[in-house]
Structures are given as structure tokens and as C-alpha cells.
Amino acid sequence: MSREELSALLDSMREALEALTSGRPVDKAEGEADSFMAGVYRLGLELHSNAALRASPEYRKFLEDSSRVLPYAMIYLEYFVDRLLTRLYHGSILNWKAICEKRSGVEFFFELYRDTPFAGFLENFELGELDPALRRQAVFEGYVPPEEIPPSIPESHWWWRPTQEDLAPAQ
């Protein structure tokens, strides 16, 4: 990712966050929450393929600034997770790859902000049902062709390549 592309991505994420903190009703801000989390997904992929980006002053400033306003956007981000969970429980118009992208976005979100002032708020996110619902649905839909899995997706994002072990109910 070039410096210009990084700048454009971070700018789009700032704009989405600004919209999320403007006080709009939750159900009227789905697009902004989706846009922010799509940016988190793209940024997470980039950081996993180019660790040097973590030292970028622009990235560091974005992380610092966004971690201060994210508490005001919590309800929208929780709603993003709730909508993903609803899609898993009630069928989805999304394909499995899109579901994987959204789940990876959530995982990257936790990864990006775990060492920031926002970290204390992360434990308030309710993800308890998300992975069990993914496991149940993966039995039916859980396949992304290997050539469509981004190379920088971490192995820990099991939903991209679920094994029989991943699909077993948690004990």
C-alpha cells in the first residue's frame, strides 16, 4: 500500500467515525459503521502484510486520535456485530467470503486497539455468540476457495478455512 493509499484509507475511516459520532440514530448509521469496519479490515490486512506500517507516523496518529473518539461510536460498532450475528442466525444475503471479511474486520479491530486508550472499552463488546454462530453456519456455507483468501489473513482467523475441529462445539 502506497503512502497515498494509506492516507486515503485513514481519511475515509476518519470520515466514517466522524459520522458515527454525530449523534445519528443507530439504524440510520449502518453505512458508516460498515464503512469504518471495512476500513479496519483493509488496514488489518495491510498491517499483516507490511508490519512496517505500524511505525508510520500517519498510522500512529490515526490510532491515537480514533481511540479517543471510539467510545462515542461504541453503540454503532456493537450494532455492526449484532447485524452480523443476525445474518448468521437468520440466513444472509452475504456470501461466506463477505461474512469472513466482516468477522476478520472485528478481529482486526480488537487487534488494532488493544494497546490504546480505547482498550478498556473492548471488553464491553459482546462477542459471545458470534463464533458459535459462525461454527454452526460454517457447516453449511463455510468454504472460500483458497485462491480467494487474502494471503495476509492470519491463521487464527479460522472462519476462512474451517476444519472439522473448528466446527466442533466449544466444550
In the chain, where the domains are located: 3-167
- Spatial separation of the C-alpha atoms in residues 87 and 90, rounded to whole Å: 5
Q: Residue 171, exposed/middle/buried by CB under 10 A (0-12, 13-18, 19+)?
A: exposed
Q: What is the residue-averaged pLDDT of the chain?
A: 87
Going from the C-alpha of 117 to that of each of 11, 46, 57, the distances in angstroms are 21, 22, 17
- Spatial separation of the C-alpha atoms in residues 62 and 72, rounded to whole Å: 16
113 band by pLDDT with thresholds 50, 70 and 90 = very high
pLDDT of 167 > 90? The answer is no
- Spatial separation of the C-alpha atoms in residues 157 and 44, rounded to whole Å: 12
Q: Among residues 112, 88, 110, 111, which one has the least CA distance to residue 99?
A: 88
> Tens digits of per-residue pLDDT, 7-56?
999 999 999 999 888 887 777 778 899 999 999 999 999 999 998 999 99
- Spatial separation of the C-alpha atoms in residues 93 and 144, rounded to whole Å: 16
> Tens digits of per-residue pLDDT, 76-88?
888 888 888 888 8
pLDDT of residue 170: 54
Judged by DSSP in three states, 23 sits in: coil
